[in-house]
């Protein structure tokens, strides 16, 4: 990865790679941490060495959901599962120069994305006549 980043010489890297099988992560903890924590750390180091700014995509799973309102950057994290813990570990392994973005869903193509969920939503929602 370092060689590829150095060869490309980007100004900014958006790090989207992740182990996202939340339920399966409970039984594949080492793989999940290898991707979400160690992989993010490697990308952070490669970005720093090449002078690029890293934007690492994380998740709202770093929180336990007990706040009762919207979370902000400085709220205390408390992941409840392996996936959330691995993403939090990745955040902590980023350089202080990196930007971490926490999101609840990333757009994309495939069977389980917000795009397809949104497109299929009308078939699951009751329609009312005005």
Domains of the chain: which residue ranges? Answer: 2-124
Tokens 């994305």, located at residue: 113
Element (H, E) at 58: strand 53-59
User: CB 37: neighbour CB atoms within 10 A?
Assistant: 20
What does the alpha-carbon distance between residue 77 and residue 79 come to, in Å, rounded to a whole number? 6
* Active site residue ranges: 83
> What's the pLDDT tens digit per position in 2-11?
899 999 999 9
pLDDT score for 112: 57
Contact 37, 88 (CB under 8 A): no
Element (H, E) at 56: strand 53-59
Would you report the helix, strand and coil content of the chain in percent, each value rounded to 5?
A: 45, 10, 40
What does the alpha-carbon distance between residue 60 and residue 84 come to, in Å, rounded to a whole number? 8
pLDDT score for 110: 62
> Which CATH number is associated with domain 2-124?
3.40.50.720
Where the chain has pLDDT below 50, the residues are 114-130
Predicted TM-score (pTM) of this structure: 0.81
């Amino acid at each position: 990865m370092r060689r590829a980043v150095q060869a490309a010489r980007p100004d900014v890297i958006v790090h989207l790679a992740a182990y996202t099988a939340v339920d399966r992560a409970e039984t594949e903890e080492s793989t999940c941490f290898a991707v979400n924590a160690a992989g993010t750390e490697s990308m952070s180091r490669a970005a720093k060495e090449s002078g690029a700014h890293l934007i690492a995509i994380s998740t709202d799973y770093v929180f336990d959901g007990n706040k009762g309102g919207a979370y902000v950057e400085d709220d205390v994290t408390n992941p409840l599962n392996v996936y959330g813990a691995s993403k939090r570990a990745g955040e902590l392994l980023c350089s202080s120069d990196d930007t971490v973005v926490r999101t609840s869903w990333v757009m994309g193509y495939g069977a389980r994305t917000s795009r397809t969920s949104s497109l299929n939503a009308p078939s699951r929602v009751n329609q009312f006549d005005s």
